[in-house]
Chain A
Amino acid sequence: MHEDLAREYKGKIPETLLKEFEKQSEDFKLSKADAKKVLEKLEARYLASKINPGEAIGIITAESFGEPSTQMTLRTFHFAGVAEAQISLGLPRLIEIFDARKEIETPLMEIYLKSPYNSNADEKKLEKIIAQIKEINMEEVATSISLNLTKMHVEIRLNKKRMKDLEVSDASVLKQLKISIKTSDFEENGEFIVATPKSKENTLPLLYMLKEKIKEVTVKGTEGIKQVLPVNRNNELVLLATGSNLKKILEIDEVDATRTTTNDIFEIQKVFGIEAARNAIIHEALRVIQDQALEIDIRHIMFIADLMTTTGVIKGITRSGITGEKESVLARASFETPIVHIMNASLIGEVDMLNSVIENVLLNQPVPLGTGLPGLVTKMKKGD
């Protein structure tokens, strides 16, 4: 109904509104004249609800986040029952996202599988896939890793039974060791694998270090993935993994590379680019807010995500992130560590043009916001 009318307004008002209009006009069986009136009103309301130039949207966003997040702190730390996996939630997680921390507290991946593998049917196959994903390191397949002080080398005794269960072969263990630790020689010697450091000054601390290094060598699976948990979600099998290694996981054949994600936004930026990182920020922040049953308009979150990604790389809302990018010395100084900023600025003779808000507040001047933003130009009559 009235598609022709709706088409006329395409580009003038958003498509979501147009769709809603089409649906409603059908439900109410609007006449053409009425439909036209509705569209006119709709456009007027849409234009009226647009943000005006000079509106202080930053502070509106800050307040919209600030108020509900005070509620969040009170509720975060008391949980009854057992969660599937320990994940950081609530305010700590929100701060983590917006500060753009490189090392997040609980990296977590959602691994989707390609079509035949994502049903519950084939358990054997599933186990094999999980074995490819989950990291197995030396410590798990060795019964003992000990120092032989008389011969000054490290002896590794392998747990054959465990290796058989995990489908790890002796040869692959030896190969992984050789690839991972280049500073020493590895040799199979009967029951042991013998590791001897290559350097001539073979000291005890060196041997200890080698032993610790050997423990952490990944013999099978994907580095960084500590635990894998299959869960059923909407009739589909999804693997939740603690730890994150997006690039490696995507290269596994059975993994659906179009949907698999991680909660580490920096990894997403590295693998999928800045726009995907923006989407991930929105998604992660929204998840925290919804988990806490709070309501913050998504526009605020989108705004913050836009701000964090304008430079092409993720910048947190910290003094080294977006605040550090500000041109004005006084604006930077008013956020954190003022003395450092003012000292550095005076050393290189920086000039503050007082173009923005905070520096003008400091100096008790009108700020360029709202009606303070536009300047007036008068055209003088000639001859006066």
Chain B
Amino acid sequence: MASEKYDVAKHVLVPKHTKLSEEESQKVLDKFNVTARQLPKISKTDPTIKELDTKPGDVIEIERKSPTVEKTKFYRVVSSA
């Protein structure tokens, strides 16, 4: 569904989003000692994950550019809303 003329992922405000496999997401959850429900959420209709083929419950890894530590990883779980 490439209806837009512009590429959302290329915008300066948009960090890189990747979908984690089940193993990888389990690793992340273990690292922070949380359940998927406790992670911050990202809407399943979010334009950044449209092309990642996600379903609710998937963990998305976000590579943020941070003014304090340059690069950090952030995780969000796809919510059903």
A residues adjacent to B (C-beta < 8 A): 14-16, 19, 250-251, 253, 257-259, 261, 268, 270-276, 279-280, 283, 298-299, 302, 306, 309-313
Contact = CB atoms under 8 A, between A and B. Distances in A.
A152 B81 CA distance: 49
Contacts of B4: 250-251
Contacts of B64: 275
9 closest residue pairs by CB, A with B:
A257-B6, A14-B69, A273-B48, A312-B41, A276-B13, A310-B40, A312-B43, A273-B46, A250-B6
A37 to B, nearest CB: 23
A250 B7 CA distance: 10
Contacts of B62: 275
Given A273-B47, A275-B15, A276-B13, A250 B5 contact: yes
Contacts of B10: 257-258
B34 interface: no
Contacts of A280: 13
Contacts of B69: 14-16
Given A16-B70, A250-B5, A312-B81, A272 B41 contact: no
Nearest to A282: B67
B68 interface: yes
Contacts of B71: 15
A21 to B, nearest CB: 14
A279 B7 CA distance: 18
B70 A15 contact: yes
A257 B43 CA distance: 23
Nearest to A279: B13
14 contacts: A15-B71, A16-B70, A250-B5, A257-B6, A272-B11, A275-B64, A276-B13, A276-B14, A279-B13, A280-B13, A302-B67, A302-B68, A312-B40, A312-B81
Given A16-B68, A261-B13, A311 B6 contact: no
B42 interface: yes
B13 A268 contact: yes
Nearest to A253: B5
Contact of A274 (B43, B67, B70): B43
A312 B68 contact: no
A302 B6 CA distance: 28
Contacts of B70: 14-16, 19
Contacts of A253: 5
Nearest to B72: A14
